[in-house]
């Protein structure tokens, strides 16, 4: 039996550095759990001369990650470069084609090419492991693929982006604007210089696409996800939600219906006191509803060098032990074609914020439209006038609906927007009762 598992590490950024640190600090522990020595023997990155916290002078250097992936000098290829296309895609494909197991933290690669890569891995009889691709150190992939193997999952949802959760938490706790907190998050390194991938909901969508495939045995389908970010959330929305007993979180949600699968990413009102509502700051939380296990929630740090490296090394140890399984829990050939549920399948409550012209009949008109669409109101908050001296003053009108179909809610809002009683476009946020 080979006594050393040789790793080829492509990408020496935050996560790559974390993997080097973990393997150095816990060498004995990892060896005991893997049953053999695990060490990085070759690396690849964009800049060989860049100063790094870890000495890589004794490691074999490859300028080309594809050449590293094919090299006979390694047993396992660890891809930590990121990105949906090349060089990450070409390198992973090269490793698998060479019958080398792959460990990756690349959510974008999996969201776009997961099924094809899984087929290639199975054809070569090697592992494609990606625990670190979703929720950092939280073992949600193993939970879905292994721990809940005997369950039929009906729904999963959660906070999957620490940047958005940090921003919404700061806005709620400190009464600061989205723009102000975003600048702070960028200064602290929680948000990129271009934060649109995070705050626009796209990062969460990539992670949700991977989890949906694992949970429901379907092909990965990123394009079918309805995506809304948090850019439009105001302090007024956060204050109104709080007054009504809710917090606002960016959630990724996937639900299995008889008609198909529903996937959505959007700001969501969640009840105060619920575990998801209490997940603040840069933490992530994922809830899975299994028919036998019931509701499970996993919470922890969703990003960063140490949590993500922990997940990467867990996948490496599985390979060292010889633990092999299909990437998405079932053979890739058995993944069902993705079938999207119609929008009408989504049923739930809604928060609606309206800026009403403060004149007789406005509220009655809104109530009539909602009644026409068979939407009942759970609670209402009507604030004072915003422009006391204006001839056509407006007043905020906030309502929470009982559960209703989204198609009905959107039809009502379309009518409200054009009936002449509102001064601006209505704002709608979905509610998850949990």
Active site residue 100: no
Angle between helices 88-97 and 107-124 (to 10 degrees): 10
Which candidate in 70, 207, 247, 289 is catalytic? 207
Q: Any residues with CB less than 8 A from the CB of 86 and at least 6 apart, and which?
A: none
CA-based nearest residue to 213, from 118, 120, 80, 88: 118
Q: What is the dihedral of CA 318, 319, 320, 321, to 10 degrees?
A: 50
Compute φ and ψ for 180, nearest 5 degrees: -65, -45
Q: Rounded CA gap, 56 and 67, in Å?
A: 18
C-alpha dihedral sign at 65, 69, 73, 76 = positive
**Please, are residues 350 and 404 in contact by the beta-carbon 8 Å criterion?**
yes
Q: Rounded CA gap, 402 and 389, in Å?
A: 35
Q: Rounded CA gap, 284 and 137, in Å?
A: 10
Residues identified as active-site = 207
């Amino acid at each position: 039996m080979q006594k050393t598992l040789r790793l080829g590490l492509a990408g020496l950024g935050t996560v790559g550095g974390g993997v080097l640190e973990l393997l150095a600090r816990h060498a004995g522990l990892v060896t005991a759990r893997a049953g053999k020595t695990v060490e990085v023997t070759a690396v690849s990155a964009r800049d060989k001369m860049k100063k790094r916290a870890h000495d890589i002078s004794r490691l074999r250097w490859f300028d080309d990650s594809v050449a590293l992936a094919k090299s006979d000098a390694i047993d396992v290829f660890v891809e930590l470069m990121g990105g949906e296309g090349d060089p990450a895609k070409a390198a992973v494909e090269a490793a698998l084609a060479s019958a080398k197991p792959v460990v990756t933290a690349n959510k974008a690669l999996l969201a776009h090419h997961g099924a094809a890569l899984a087929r290639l891995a199975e054809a070569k009889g090697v592992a494609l492991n990606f625990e670190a691709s979703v929720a950092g150190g939280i073992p949600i992939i193993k939970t879905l693929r292994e721990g809940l193997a005997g369950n039929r999952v009906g729904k999963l949802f959660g906070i999957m982006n620490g940047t958005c959760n940090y921003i919404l938490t700061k806005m709620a706790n400190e009464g600061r604007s989205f723009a102000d907190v975003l600048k702070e998050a960028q200064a602290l390194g929680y948000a990129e210089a271009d934060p649109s991938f995070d705050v626009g909901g796209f990062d969460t969508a990539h992670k949700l696409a991977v989890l949906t495939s694992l949970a429901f045995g379907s092909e990965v389908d990123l394009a079918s996800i309805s995506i809304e970010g948090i850019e439009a959330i105001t302090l007024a929305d956060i204050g109104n939600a709080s007054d009504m007993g809710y917090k606002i979180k960016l959630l990724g949600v996937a639900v299995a219906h008889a008609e198909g699968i529903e996937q959505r990413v959007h700001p969501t009102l969640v009840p105060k006191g619920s575990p998801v509502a209490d997940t603040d700051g840069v933490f992530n939380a994922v809830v899975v509803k299994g028919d036998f296990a019931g509701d499970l929630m996993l919470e922890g740090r969703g990003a960063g060098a140490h949590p993500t490296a922990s997940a990467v090394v867990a996948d490496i140890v599985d390979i060292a032990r010889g633990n092999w399984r299909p990437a998405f829990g079932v053979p890739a050939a058995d993944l069902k074609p993705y079938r999207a549920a119609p929008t009408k399948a989504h049923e739930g409550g809604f928060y609606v914020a309206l800026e009403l012209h403060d004149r007789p009949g406005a509220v009655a008109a809104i109530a009539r439209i909602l009644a026409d669409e068979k939407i009942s109101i759970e609670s209402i908050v009507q604030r004072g006038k915003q422009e006391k001296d204006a001839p056509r003053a407006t007043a905020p009108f906030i309502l929470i609906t009982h559960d209703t179909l989204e198609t009905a809610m959107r039809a009502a809002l379309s009518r409200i927007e054009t009936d002449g009683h509102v001064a601006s476009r209505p704002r709608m946020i979905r509610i998850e009762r949990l």
